[in-house]
Amino acid sequence: MAVERGKDSPLLPTSPAQVAGTNGNANGAGLAPSNANYRLRLNPNQDHRADNYDDLGMEFTPLLFSSLERYLPPNLLDVPRDTKYKYMRDILRRYSTEGERTREQKHKEYRQKIVSNYQPLYRELYTMNPSMFFVQSFLKAFNANEKNKDESIKSIMSEPAPGVYTFDMLQPRFCEMLLSEVENFEKWVHETKFRIMRPNTMNKFGAVLDDFGMQGTLDKLMEDFIRHISKIFFPDVGGYSLDSHHGFVVEYGMDRDVELGFHVDDSEVTLNVCLGKQFTGGELFFRGVRCEKHVNSETHPEEIFDYSHSPGRAIIHRGRHRHGARATTSGHRINLLLWCRSSVFRELKKHKKEFINFCGECKREKKARLLHSVAARKKELLVGEGDVAS
């Protein structure tokens, strides 16, 4: 079993074991503590509306700050943004090594070199435009008032297998434009002989959309749409706190990658949308959700599910849902992938054993232990009744 990985995993905040408190600043004056005792809350304030950090030139992704802000101590939630930013930045620096920060800086320089030289074919793709990107049913679901939005989103979803959801998402014209943009980028790479990073260790073809300028568009896609879907369907893996992503396209065909082996993704939640073109084969096959401990355990009949791609239609699932792609037997298939990650969940997972509740095998083991315990207790009671009768 392979773990499909992209680039570096997101950086992690301070330990949730060190819960709320701002170094004894009881008056809540809104000043970040002056010593090293930085703390976060164990549970986020879900009602707090976080600030936007997009306009700040930062060493960490802006979405990470927006997500982490909900975990700040109560007396820091409503202080000036600059105060919160410095407080969270110092926490993140303590939990990221110099090597990690150096790699991140080098990757930023790599991206900047591409963006400075590559000329986009369709500049309108580089800013989120929901009415141009999404089909009407998807837009209508998200335009519902806040009170009814969850039910509205659920109404456009199909669940063909437990934990796997499908829905119509992208307009045909958008798919065509994105395919042309990727082809244009690949042409530029070939002509300039620029050495690019491929999406992950398992795909030799495809492109990382974030690397040639589409990070902002994909940030908005995750923040405004996928995070809300994930909050509804995947709260057990941090769907409510997605704060970073890895966005890319993969290409399959006789002159591209043909198939993809059995694996799990380096994500909490994965969005997968077929862009086209004409093809046969390439079905996804799913074989149950597993934690790290049980990733190679056997598959049970009820966990077997196969999915056939259709252009513009999305499928969304937990990253730990084991899957693969069968061979594309003819034509050319290109898919958009968005690996959505929660640095908060990844840190919490280290400290709370119940976070493995999403794993199918852990659930089976727990059920077996419970049945064994009940059977043993019944036996004890029966023995006790026999003793009384004699």
Strands (DSSP E) contained in 145-213 are: 158-161, 164-168, 207-208
Least confident of 1-5, 71-75, 121-125, 203-207: 1-5
Residue 206 has pLDDT above 60, yes or no: yes
Assess contact for 361 and 294: CB atoms under 8 A: yes
Least confident window among 69-73, 305-309, 374-378: 374-378
pLDDT at 13: 38
Q: Which residues pair with 307 in a beta bridge?
A: 284
Q: How confident is the model at residue 5 (pLDDT cuts 50, 70, 90)?
A: very low
Yes or no: say if 264 and 4 are a contact pair by the CB < 8 Å rule. yes
Q: Tell me the three state secondary structure of residue 29.
A: coil
pLDDT in tens, 9-54: 333 333 333 323 333 333 333 444 443 456 777 777 878 888 988 8
Percentage above 70 pLDDT, the chain? 86
Q: Give the pLDDT score at 42.
A: 72
C-alpha to C-alpha distances, 70 to 66, 245, 274, 344, nearest whole angstrom: 7, 19, 34, 10
User: For the residues of 283-325, what is the DSSP string, one character each?
Assistant: -EEEEEE--STTTTSPPPGGGEEEE---TTEEEEEETTEEEEE
Q: Is the pLDDT of residue 122 over 90?
A: yes
Q: Per DSSP, which regions of 80-185 are E strands? A: 158-161, 164-168
Mean pLDDT over all residues of the chain? 84
How much is the pLDDT for 345? 85
Average pLDDT (91-102) is 77
Q: What is the pLDDT of residues 235-259, one digit of tens each?
A: 989 998 899 999 999 999 887 777 7
List C-alpha distances in Å: 306 to 3, 301, 302, 334, 349. Answer: 20, 12, 12, 18, 30
Q: Which residue has the higher pLDDT, 257 or 197?
A: 197
More confident call, 24 vs 132: 132
Confidence of residue 169 (pLDDT cuts 50, 70, 90): very high
pLDDT in tens, 212-243: 999 999 999 999 999 999 999 999 899 988 99
- What's the confidence (pLDDT) of residue 304? 94
Answer for the pair 167, 313: CB distance below 8 angstroms, yes or no. yes
